[in-house]
Amino acid sequence: MKAFYTLIFLSITIFSHAQVDSVKSHRINIWNSSSIQVMYQNGYVFATNNFLRGTNIEAKKINNFQASSIKFSTQTRGNKLWEQLYKYPNWGVGIYFADFYNAKEVGYPIAIYGFFNAPFKRWNRLSFNYELGFGATFNWRSFNPVSNKFNSSMGAGESFLIDVGLNLQYYLTHKIELVTGFSLTHFSNGTIKEPNQGINTIAPKVSLKYNFYDTPSFHTRDVSKYTHSNEWLISLFAGVKNVVYDSVNINIIEKYEGVYFPVFGLSMMYNKQISYLSKFGIGTTITYNGSVNAQVAIDNNQMVLFDKPLGDKIQLSIYPSYELVINKLSLTLQPAFYLYRKKVKNQSPNFHQRVGIKYHLTDNVFIGITLRDYAFHVADFIEWNIGYRFGR
């Protein structure tokens, strides 16, 4: 779990660094732009694995859930250009509590997450918004081969949360807002610990939001036409992947601890920024994946790995890229294809997906987190990135 907590620390650093940067540059009293929001939702769990379909102690589908959260946010006023370009969004942190109506096997997960809520369209007292969230979830009743042997969704007591949604925000008074909408939420640990088939939900939600400020006034300025710019990016990444070998005949607890394999590599990308908010590009990644074609044997009731040639572990992929730029923070979406990898049994599909966030520590140096998955819901592994930008 050291790898998981390192990744959580990196995530919190990205959000906290962004928040400190915003507060310093605005030089305003935090209470003049802060809000507190209470949310409730009740919705549907997608039956993406046998555990959720009913292979569990109660022999019932886990197809609904309820959740609540408390959110603390900052309302932007246009002090920076990006705030005006995003129509004056609000952003902050939240604490999330979920109940899947199966506490014995699932537990009561709790999440801490950062979020960004921005309008598509703003009217006098109403706005239509999209929201993005990313965070860490704790308190799962994770898989255990003896005491919780059916829970193939969660192999660890910790996971990540990715949340996307739409909402309508309406001023009931000059300080109180009603927020209604829905969201899609994905829980996964990124194969830091198997099994990791994940949980995906969709649900409507309703919130009451109290603003510690009066109805805000927004700063506006003339925005010049964006001049296209180009950049080259190079980054190094590292991660871990856990593999469980069901067929080996050893102590069941040790068997399901699995084997941890290193994953690392190099990425190169060319981007063209076509507006203040969007970049398009193409990239390629060369990866060493230690789990590929790995085989084990039993010696004195211990698993022993067979060494394989380096060429078995090397993978080369290519992908178009879209990057949504939010000040120093970016969201990246990259549908990817393997150009080269050794053919092995039961390997993941050639087409896979890369979704990530990155944060610029300086104009040229950035750090980030990228989830590599396939079938749009099965995690392969997580990349922790550090990189450098050239030629902007």
Whether the predicted pLDDT of 4 surpasses 60: no
Check residue 330 and give its pLDDT. 95
Same-domain status, 83 and 181: yes
Name the residue with higher pLDDT: 163 or 306: 163
338-345: average pLDDT: 92
Same-domain status, 144 and 100: yes
254-261: average pLDDT: 89
Same-domain status, 195 and 298: no
- The contacts of residue 319 (CB under 8 Å, 6+ apart) are 282, 283, 284, 285, 334, 335, 336, 337, 354
**62 lies in some domain:** yes
In tens, the pLDDT along 166-222 reads 999 999 999 999 999 999 999 999 889 999 999 999 999 999 999 999 888 899 999
Same-domain status, 192 and 323: no
Check residue 264 and give its pLDDT. 97
Q: Tokens 């994940």 correspond to what residue?
A: 198
Check residue 10 and give its pLDDT. 52
Check residue 29 and give its pLDDT. 58
Same-domain status, 253 and 200: no
Give residue 367's domain range: 229-390
Check residue 350 and give its pLDDT. 96
41-68: average pLDDT: 96
pTM over 0.75: yes
In tens, the pLDDT along 125-169 reads 999 999 999 999 999 999 999 999 999 999 999 999 999 999 999
**221 lies in some domain:** no
In tens, the pLDDT along 271-302 reads 999 999 999 999 999 999 999 988 888 877 77
Domains: count for the chain? 2
3-state secondary structure labels for all residues of the chain? CHHHHHHHHHHHHHHHHHHHHHHHHHCCCHHHCEEEEEEEEEEEECCCCHHHHCCCCCCCCCCEEEEEEEEEEEECCCCCHHHHHCCCCEEEEEEEEEECCCCCCCEEEEEEEEEEEEEEEECCCEEEEEEEEEEEEEEECCCECCCECCCCCCCCCCEEEEEEEEEEEEECCCCEEEEEEEEEEEEECCCCCCCCCCEEEEEEEEEEEEECCCCCCCCCCCCCCCCCEEEEEEEEEEEEEEECCCCCCCCHHHHHHCEEEEEEEEEEEEEEECCCCEEEEEEEEEEEECCCCCEEEEECCEEEEECCCHHHHEEEEEEEEEEEEECCEEEEEEEEEEEECCCCCCCCCCEEEEEEEEEECCCCEEEEEEEEEECCCEEEEEEEEEEEEECC
% of the chain surpassing 90 pLDDT:
77
Check residue 26 and give its pLDDT. 45
**218 lies in some domain:** no
Check residue 23 and give its pLDDT. 45
Same-domain status, 201 and 246: no
63-74: average pLDDT: 97
pLDDT bin (cut points 50, 70, 90) of residue 17 is low
pLDDT bin (cut points 50, 70, 90) of residue 25 is very low
Same-domain status, 168 and 275: no
Name the residue with higher pLDDT: 345 or 34: 34
Sign of CA pseudo-dihedral 172, 113, 359, 339: negative
Check residue 325 and give its pLDDT. 96
Check residue 299 and give its pLDDT. 78
Are 132 and 115 contacting, i.e. CB atoms less than 8 angstroms apart?
A: yes
Q: Calculate the average pLDDT of the chain.
A: 90
Check residue 315 and give its pLDDT. 97
**332 lies in some domain:** yes
Q: Which amino acid is at 141?
A: R
Name the residue with higher pLDDT: 66 or 17: 66
